[in-house]
Amino acid sequence: MSKGRILVVEDDTDISNMLKIYFSAQGYEVAVAGRGNDALERTRKQLPNVIVLDIMLPDIDGYEVCTRLRRALRTSHVPIIFLTQKDERSDRIAGLELGADDYITKPFDIEELRLRVQGAMRRAERENLTSPTTGLSSGKMIEEQLRSLMRRKDWGLLYVGVGDFDAFTDVSGFVAGDEVLRFTALLLSEVDDKLGGADDFIGHIGGDDFILITAEDKAAVLAEAVTHRFNQEIGAHYSFKDRERGYILVKDTDGSERHAPLMKLCVGVVLAKDYEFTDIREITEVSAELRRKACS
């Protein structure tokens, strides 16, 4: 199982290739971007768990990349480690003031960089900012976004769950279950990148529960699109035999077998115009109930 996703933003191909080979051998998924705009595009499509970011890039510099990542709700929590030849105190301070989590200069010790990557990922998880499974925002970040809805109008919220997920993990195990969760997170990001807005927020509440906050007029279209894609593509996580018969065999505690349907996506949609909320708990209660009805 992957230790996490790393995005290396570096225009020196010797360095980027070396980092990709090294961290891949350590068990990480590694993506490489040689330009700042390429890095921003990659993070919109799939969130990394940590970004190793060079300051000197051929289009926009690392400072500008960091600024844009911190401004966007979807990427504001992702740990950033600056990697640069600059060793001036003012440069280090500038990077940290923009929201970078760490700073390492070239030439660097790759073991030290590995430890800094691990530390940044652990801090994010410990502070309850990201899900270790999907890399999406979680915990405090989700609570902050829900509280912000109290001050906003014209918002829509998708409460997303995977129906019959528990039956699947009972048969296939938690590793296969984590793959489904990562697939769901990627699907939500890809669909929202295509149909949503730049300020949309995607979070992993826990288990098979996700949340997507968008504009009110985009909620229904997003709900339909993510449901269609999930139900169309989830078959890839099953054997050919299970796909053909449309169910899996689950053994209960008494040894008897039962038929469990293939997983499907259940989406509850809450629109600001339909309710008057005074507390975030009211939002979560209504959205969870709508999600349950969608799965019934």
- What's the CA gap between 260 and 167, in Å, rounded? 7
Give the model's pLDDT for residue 1. Answer: 62
Q: Which two tokens stand for residue 138?
A: 């979680």
Give the model's pLDDT for residue 133. Answer: 87
pTM of this structure: 0.72
Q: Which two tokens stand for residue 161?
A: 């769950």
**Residues whose CB is less than 8 angstroms from the CB of residue 88 and which lie 6 or more positions away in sequence, other chains included:** none
Neighbours of 195 (CB within 10 A): 15
Alpha-helical (H) ranges within 72-138 are: 89-97, 110-126
- What's the CA gap between 280 and 45, in Å, rounded? 28
Residues 121/79, Cβ–Cβ less than 8 Å:
yes
- What's the CA gap between 289 and 145, in Å, rounded? 20
- What's the CA gap between 47 and 59, in Å, rounded? 22
Residue labelled with tokens 């768990």: 49
Q: Which helix (H) or strand (E) holds 209?
A: strand 209-215
- What's the CA gap between 119 and 172, in Å, rounded? 32
Q: Where in the chain is the domain with CATH 3.40.50.2300?
A: 5-126
Give the model's pLDDT for residue 86. Answer: 63
Q: Where in the chain is the domain with CATH 3.30.70.270?
A: 139-295
96-101 long-range contacts (CB < 8 A, ≥24 apart) are 98/63, 98/66, 98/67, 98/70, 99/66, 99/67, 99/69, 99/70, 100/53, 100/66
- What's the CA gap between 206 and 187, in Å, rounded? 17
CATH 3.60.150.10 fits 5-126, yes or no: no
- What's the CA gap between 210 and 31, in Å, rounded? 24
Helices 174-195 and 36-45: crossing angle in degrees, nearest 10, is 120
CATH topology for 139-295? Alpha-Beta Plaits (3.30.70)
pLDDT along the chain (296 residues), means of 10: 88 94 95 95 87 93 91 84 75 76 87 93 79 86 89 93 94 94 94 90 94 96 97 95 93 84 96 90 92 88
Q: Which residues of 68-90 are buried (b: 16+ CB within 10 A; e: fewer)?
A: bbeebbbbebbbbbbbbebeeee
- In total, the chain counts a number of residues equal to 296
